[in-house]
Amino acid sequence: MTVPTLHYHPLSSYCHKLLIALDVLGIETEKRLLNLGDPAERAAHLALCPTGKMPLLVDQGRPIPETSIIIEYLQRHHAAPGRTLIPSDPDAALDVRLWDRMFDLYVMTPMQALTADLLRQEGDRDAIGVAQAREKLLTAYAFIDRHLEGRTWVSGGEFSMADCAAAPALFYAVTYVPLPPQHVHLAAYFERLM
């Protein structure tokens, strides 16, 4: 059986989410560093994934985009025995998927908006967008902190796909908007993730 091919870049936070999952699930992949700045590589990648997003998994010629979908696919088809990131119980699985989306949409997305603004020319920067992204992160931090009270991991008692999403999202987000000192549950969780 051939191993899947992972098209990725080491600076991508979504790629880190998937790399964590690969490690936990005990899966080997052929890793291909993706250079979207190279026109030929970009064209080849767009042929596989018209959105141009990464990471992208290719398994037996089938391109599989979107990090959360890739993780679920890998768990179903390639995980080492006994290794899971999404529980088999349907309600517990929904909770994992919910918190996976929460970190992707409410921590990762505003963090990426802050990164994108830094990459703009000085005159093209978006002060209003930056302020909104910072406020979204603070709102997410407060919500997550309340949820984490009495919990080790964000969903259920085991490390899950939601924690894979949380680790890179928080790692980068706190460089822009540090955790407020009153969010002790989130701070302890972040420490466990690191």
Q: What phi and psi, each to the nearest 5 degrees, are found at residue 31?
A: -95, 130
Widest CA span in the chain: 54
Cβ–Cβ < 8 Å for 49, 56: yes
Q: 116 CB contacts (<8 Å, ≥6 apart)?
A: none
Low-confidence ranges of the chain (pLDDT < 70): 1
pTM for the model stands at: 0.94
Q: What is the mean pLDDT of the chain?
A: 96
3-state secondary structure of 184: helix
User: Helices in the chain by DSSP H: which ranges?
Assistant: 13-25, 39-48, 67-77, 90-103, 109-119, 127-148, 161-176, 184-193
What is the structure's pLDDT at 54? 93
